[in-house]
Amino acid sequence: MMFISSGAAASHDEAANSEQIPDMLIPLDSGNGAEYAIVVEKETQQLFLYANDGTVKEVLRMNCSTGKVTGAKAVAGDLKTPEGIYFFIKEHKDKDLGPIYGTRAFPTDYPNLLDHIAGRTGSEIWLHGTNKPLKVRDSSGCVTLENSDIDTIAKYITLNRTPIIIVKKLSYGPFDVKLEAKTSVLNIFSEWKDALENGTYHDYLKFYDPEYLPDISWWSEWNKIRKTIHTAPEPFSVELENILIIKYNGTYVVLADQVINFSGREIQAGIRKFYLTEDHFRIIGEEYQGMSQARRDKQDNPFMMACRNLGTKEDKHEIANMLDDWLKAWSSKDIQEYGNHYASDFQSQGMNLKAWLRHKGRLNKKYKYIRVSKEKLVVKKSKQRRVVSFVQKYESNAFKAVGIKQLILKREDGQWKIYRETWKKI
């Protein structure tokens, strides 16, 4: 589903021409049903809801109130409503709100990256209800609706997905122009994706404006992971799915779900938001939508976090099978098969592997039967090793015990082997 918006002025009467559609909308059938965009026209104090399911249609139109002072927001406290493309990041119900916000409120992500670059300040620009009669240009910068209207439109809002596009005045344009823009943007990101998967650092940076230097500190680690992945027989790709394109004031905003496909699995790797110039389609900014400020301050990278977990998730299936075989050998008192699951340099409780197996052999002779099982398996990556923990249930003819088993595994002869082993009763 894709939307495109522009802030250029034109009259609503142009919409009567079947060749003219609102600049913010591109008809596209996503296959997932209709998606929605909210558009606020400050000049007429109107809010529009558009649906896009292969055809574009206006679903709702309602009165709204914007900032008491006309013009685009520039600084905190100027009583102006910002103009641009924003996304809803939270929803507050009436029980959590002061009376002036009415029955519910949707905070937006103002100021976004472009606002920060432009030096615009302020915060807490919301779409919300009210506890008084609605008047034009009566807010402190938020977009205000009647309570019945905010309750109605809430059904169409998906957090970190549904855009609210705030313009001075709507404009309209030919459908074919929108399709050309869509094709250009999609082609750019197809090439961007290829550079990410297979290209060099310099190939990747070609898609970025020379005046904008993206955070590329992760590339060295990604390059190592990529080389390892490319040697695996399983198919691998990085995809941008559910792409949303919006245009305002000469800049495109592209929102997409970043997904890693590996070994038949889809791994979510964050919601990417890109800002592109209209003239050369170069990226002038990027961020992860819905990411908390605390995570931004830590410079968390959802893409790299997902990549680091690729091996761990793949390993977990292999490790679970290995543990099942190990527990089966333990329960059946097959000391040779049991010992095959240990690393040659294993140590535990002051015993090396040879002493450990002698100890287990004596216990096998002592008990008539042994039953050992695992629950709640957790696998964590620690450099080249894996730290495994689970609830171990042990039963013999002499006693029963439940505890937390922790194993440190290492690769030996191409297989995961037990390097260290501890147990704590619970």
pLDDT value at residue 314: 60
Mean pLDDT of 370-380: 93
In this structure, of 40-44, 79-83, 313-317, 368-372, the range with the lowest mean pLDDT score is: 313-317
In this structure, of 146-160, 183-197, 236-250, the range with the lowest mean pLDDT score is: 236-250
Q: What is the spatial distance between Cα 33 and Cα 38, in angstroms, rounded to a whole number?
A: 17
pLDDT value at residue 18: 46
Pick the residue with more confidence: 15 or 279? 279
Q: Mean pLDDT across the chain, nearest whole number?
A: 88
pLDDT value at residue 19: 46
Band (pLDDT 50/70/90 cuts) for residue 20 is: low
Q: Which of 99, 92, 109, 97 is nearest to 160 (CA)?
A: 109
Residues 6+ positions from 46 with CB-CB distance below 8 Å: 40, 61, 62, 63, 64
pLDDT at 160 over 60: yes
pLDDT value at residue 279: 84
Query: Do the first three CATH levels of 174-309 and 312-425 match, i.e. the same topology?
Result: yes
CATH 3.40.50.300 given to domain 174-309: no
Segment 135-156, tens digit of pLDDT: 999 999 999 999 999 999 999 9
Pick the residue with more confidence: 423 or 27? 423
User: What's the whole-model pTM score?
Assistant: 0.72
Q: Across 161-170, 246-255, 301-310, which has the greatest mean pLDDT? A: 161-170
Kindly state the percentage of the chain with pLDDT values over 70. Answer: 91
pLDDT value at residue 4: 47
pLDDT value at residue 413: 74
What are the domain boundaries of the chain?
13-171, 174-309, 312-425
Band (pLDDT 50/70/90 cuts) for residue 267 is: confident
Q: Residue 163: is the preceding peptide bond cis (ω within 30°)? A: no
Q: What is the spatial distance between Cα 127 and Cα 147, in angstroms, rounded to a whole number?
A: 11
pLDDT at 102 over 80: yes
Pick the residue with more confidence: 18 or 106? 106
Q: What is the spatial distance between Cα 349 and Cα 364, in angstroms, rounded to a whole number?
A: 18
pLDDT at 352 over 90: yes
Q: Characterize the bridge pairing of strands 35-41 and 163-167.
A: parallel
Segment 234-244, tens digit of pLDDT: 788 999 998 88
Token pair of 339 as six digits: 């010992």
The CATH code of domain 312-425 reads 3.10.450.50
Q: What is the spatial distance between Cα 180 and Cα 7, in angstroms, rounded to a whole number?
A: 19
Q: Which of 171, 188, 190 is nearest to 247 (CA)?
A: 171
CA of residue 195 relative to chain centroid, distance = 21
Residue 111 gets which letter from DSSP? S
Band (pLDDT 50/70/90 cuts) for residue 311 is: low
Q: What is the spatial distance between Cα 330 and Cα 371, in angstroms, rounded to a whole number?
A: 8
Q: Is the dihedral of CA 290, 294, 295, 298 positive or negative?
A: positive
Q: Which residues are identified as catalytic?
A: 128, 142
pLDDT value at residue 139: 96
CATH class of 13-171: mainly beta
Mean pLDDT of 336-352: 92
Amino acid occupying residue 36 = Y
pLDDT value at residue 8: 39
pLDDT value at residue 324: 95
Q: Characterize the bridge pairing of strands 2-3 and 25-26.
A: antiparallel
Mean pLDDT of 350-368: 92
